[in-house]
């Protein structure tokens, strides 16, 4: 039909051709394009010739797209299924689409929520979480690109992937496309943990934004297309990118990943244009693609090693390490609790000592958290006391079992009672209370020595009386005895003992002195 229009236009005079252009809406777009072609051949130039040409071409494109649309349900279904089938010019995109869908189905099969997965679940299967990603689990930068936080997240990303992939893959070729996609995805992951490494990041958004950025640069720098031809395409892509970045301002959206992928995609677009002298080449050389991939990976490895684990990210990481060590260390305690006390003997000692080492490691980790402030600092201090009390409990268990003594005794019960107090306070968020210097008094428990030592003192000691050694609260008497309280104290080193009555002791030591106080002064 185009040949017919062209032959008919060639028989008309220039005046007649120009008259047709005065009412283009009355003619088919193919006819208008044929008229313009003849006028150009004759060297006729008018002010609106180029504008008429662009309008006619746009109308023709829209007409062809409309004609290409499937008309029956069966045709629509076949057209939709074609999106998932690799084919010439559209090969890598459906493979990426199918991988993302398969992984999402796997997530559902293992019990992860269809709508809103928990952060812990996403982390467990490969989500990008700064403290762990930067501590050797670099592969999370890649795996997180194929995970999605619910069906809507997956749907939006896959629609965008197909949209950009159908255009871009045809322009730059398979290998160039997949290299660019993966580099943009990794860049998005790095940007995410650099900006806020305390959240679990997942999704293909960084990679997809990168591909939009790459396509945008190709359109902007390609030297054959006119700016008039580029304007509409670039405007549409710019609108898509802008809307998504604006949408990313909402809570829970990882805009840093979007921006990181976008920037790297645009940089790759510039590189591709330089490689092809600003012409879009469907097949770039394999050598050039390999060099691009190597340079990109070198830059990413450098960036990966430069991102520090500090602040909140370090705090969360170390607290999780402490939690993992606690779980491991508590196994022997739970086993002892389920065992009849008569069967608890020195056979438990090796495991108790191994668990004690875990408590020591946790203690060192918590002591290294010196930069925290506010509630986090209170939590660290409370956890530090808790860990030290657990460690002391295990040391007492080990010593008593090695010497044939019952594991549960007065000293152990005091320590475990204090442990329970810390557990309750931490679970209820009352760390600021328990770490208050006037409230917290665990030093006497931490200074307990495994060896038995009972000391008699002159005077009348009552049950529940506060014992103060050299001005430091050491504990309370039970049945008038000091068993365990003065384990490290040499009786011959005592200079004096003084008993304060209830009101007098209470005035000095508060409620701790309600039953009186026994003051012990040692020789200096």
Catalytic residue list: 205, 258
Q: 87: helix, coil or strand?
A: strand
Q: 362: helix, coil or strand?
A: helix
CA distance 378 to 375: 5
Measured in whole angstroms, how far is the alpha carbon of residue 208 from the centre of its chain? 19
Q: Give me the residue label for tokens 């730059």.
A: 172
- Number of Cβ within 10 Å of residue 398's Cβ equals 21
Q: Which of 478, 513, 479 is nearest to 499 (CA)?
A: 513
3-state helix, strand and coil shares in percent for the chain, rounded to the nearest 5: 65, 5, 30
Strand locations in 186-243 (E): 200-201
Greatest extent of the chain over all pairs of C-alpha atoms, in Å = 132
For 517, the enclosing helix (H) or strand (E) is strand 517-522
Q: Which of 206, 234, 239, 200 is nearest to 219 (CA)?
A: 234
111: left (phi over 0), alpha (psi -120 to 50) or beta: left
**Residue 201 in contact with residue 189, Cβ under 8 Å?**
yes
Tokens matching residue 231:
């304007």
**Residue 495: φ, ψ to 5°:** -90, -40
Sign of CA dihedral 243, 244, 247, 250: negative
**Residue 408 in contact with residue 341, Cβ under 8 Å?**
yes
Q: 449: buried, middle or exposed (CB in 10 Å: 19+, 13-18, 0-12)?
A: middle
Radius of gyration of the chain (CA): 38
Please report, for residues 33, 190, 204, 361, 372, the alpha-carbon distance to residue 183 in angstroms, rounded to integers and kept in the order given: 42, 11, 12, 38, 35
Tokens matching residue 494:
């005592």
Q: Which of 209, 186, 205 is nearest to 269 (CA)?
A: 209
């Amino acid at each position: 039909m185009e040949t017919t229009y062209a032959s008919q236009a060639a028989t008309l005079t220039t005046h007649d051709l120009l008259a047709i252009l005065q009412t283009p809406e009355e003619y088919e777009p193919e006819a208008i394009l044929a008229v313009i072609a003849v006028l150009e051949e004759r060297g006729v130039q008018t002010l609106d010739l180029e504008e008429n040409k662009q309008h006619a071409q746009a109308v023709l494109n829209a007409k062809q797209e409309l004609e290409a649309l499937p008309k029956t349900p069966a045709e629509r279904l076949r057209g939709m299924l074609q999106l998932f089938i690799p084919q010439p010019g559209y090969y890598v995109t459906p493979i990426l689409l199918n991988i993302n869908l398969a992984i999402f189905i796997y997530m559902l099969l293992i019990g992860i929520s269809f709508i809103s997965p928990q952060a812990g679940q996403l982390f467990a299967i490969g989500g990008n979480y700064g403290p762990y990603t930067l501590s050797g689990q670099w592969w999370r930068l890649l795996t997180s690109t194929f995970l999605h936080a619910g069906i809507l997240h997956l749907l939006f990303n896959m629609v965008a992937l197909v949209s950009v992939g159908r255009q871009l893959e045809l322009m730059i070729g398979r290998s160039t496309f997949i290299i660019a996609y993966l580099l943009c995805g990794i860049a998005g992951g790095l940007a995410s943990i650099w900006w806020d490494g305390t959240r679990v990041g997942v999704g293909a958004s960084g990679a997809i934004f990168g591909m939009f950025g790459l396509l945008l640069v190709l359109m902007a720098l390609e030297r054959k297309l006119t700016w008039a031809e580029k304007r509409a395409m670039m405007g549409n892509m710019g609108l898509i990118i802008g809307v998504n970045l604006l949408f990313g301002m909402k809570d829970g959206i990882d805009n840093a990943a979007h921006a990181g992928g976008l920037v790297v995609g645009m940089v790759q677009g510039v590189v591709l244009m330089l490689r092809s002298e600003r012409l879009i080449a469907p097949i770039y050389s394999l050598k050039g693609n390999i060099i691009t991939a190597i340079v990109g990976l070198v830059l990413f490895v450098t960036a990966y090693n430069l991102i520090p684990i500090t602040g909140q990210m370090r705090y969360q990481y170390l607290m999780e390490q402490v939690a993992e060590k606690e779980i491991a260390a508590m196994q022997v305690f739970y086993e002892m609790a389920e065992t009849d006390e008569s069967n608890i003997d020195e056979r438990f000692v090796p495991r108790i000592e191994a668990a004690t080492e875990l408590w020591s490691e946790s203690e060192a980790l918590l002591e290294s958290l010196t930069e925290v402030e506010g509630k986090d600092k209170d939590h660290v201090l409370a956890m530090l006391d808790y860990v030290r009390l657990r460690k002391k409990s295990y040391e007492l268990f080990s010593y008593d079992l090695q010497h044939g003594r019952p594991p549960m005794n007065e000293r152990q019960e005091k320590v475990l009672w204090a442990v329970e107090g810390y557990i309750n306070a931490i679970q209820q968020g009352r760390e600021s209370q328990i770490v208050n210097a006037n409230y917290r008094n665990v030093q006497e428990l931490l200074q307990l020595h495994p060896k038995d030592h009972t000391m008699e003192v002159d005077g009348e000691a009552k049950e529940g009386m506060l014992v103060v050694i050299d001005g430091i609260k050491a504990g309370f008497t039970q049945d008038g005895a000091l068993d365990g309280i003065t384990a490290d104290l040499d009786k011959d080193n005592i200079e004096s003992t003084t008993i304060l009555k209830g009101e007098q002791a209470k005035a000095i030591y508060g409620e701790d002195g309600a039953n009186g106080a026994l003051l012990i002064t040692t020789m200096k």
